[in-house]
Amino acid sequence: MRAVLQRVRQAQVKVAGKIVASIGPGYVLLIGFGRDDHPAMVGGPVWNRFLKKILDLRLFPDDSGPINQSLEDQDGAILVVSQFTLYADIKKGRRPSFSKAARPEEAKTMYHAFIADLTKLWPKVEQGIFGADMDIELTNWGPVTIWIDSQEL
C-alpha cells in the first residue's frame, strides 16, 4: 500500500461536476494498492500498522510548533481517494506503466475495506468514488505532504 497524505484546510471531490464528498481541516489521503497487496492482508499486522500510522501522525500546529498535534487533537476529518497512479513506473519511455498496481477488482475490495476499517477507528471519514474520474479541490495547509509506504513501516 502507498499513500500520499496532505494536511488540508478544506477539500472536496467532484464527480461529473457534483460534490460527492467534502471536509474541513484534516487530511486528504490518496491511497493506492500494489500487485503485491492482496485482500487477505486486510486486518493483518501491516494493514493495521498502516492505519495506525495515519491516525497517530502529529502534523497539526499548536503553540509548541507547526507539526505537534494529531488528527484527534484537532478533531479533523479524512478524505480518502483511490489513486492507482501511486504505482506508476516511469523508467522507460514517456508513458507510465501501471503494471505494479493491483488489479482493479482487488484494489476496489481493499479500498472499501480500508475505508471501513479507518471509519471504525476514526468516524470522520469521507471518500471519493473508486474508479471514477474525479476532480479533487483542496487547500494544502503548510504545505504538509507525507509519503507513506507499507513496506517502509
- Domain ranges in the chain? 2-152
Question: Which residue among 6, 33, 50, 83 is the active-site one?
Answer: 83
Band the pLDDT of 69: cuts 50, 70, 90: very high
Mean pLDDT of 46-62: 97
The Cα 62–Cα 60 span in angstroms is 7
Per-residue model confidence (pLDDT) at position 10: 98
Dihedral pair phi/psi, residue 92, rounded to 5°: -115, 140
Can 12 be counted among the known catalytic residues?
A: no
pLDDT tens digits, residue range 105-125? 999 999 999 999 999 999 999
85 classed as catalytic: yes
Specify the CATH architecture of the domain 2-152. Answer: 3-Layer(bba) Sandwich (3.50)
Q: Which of 85, 139, 145, 151 is catalytic?
A: 85
Choose the catalytic residue: 60, 84, 114, 127: 84
Cβ pair 117, 42 in contact under 8 A: yes
* Residue 127 is among the residues annotated as catalytic for this protein: no
Give per-residue pLDDT as tens, 21-51.
999 999 999 999 999 999 999 999 999 999 9
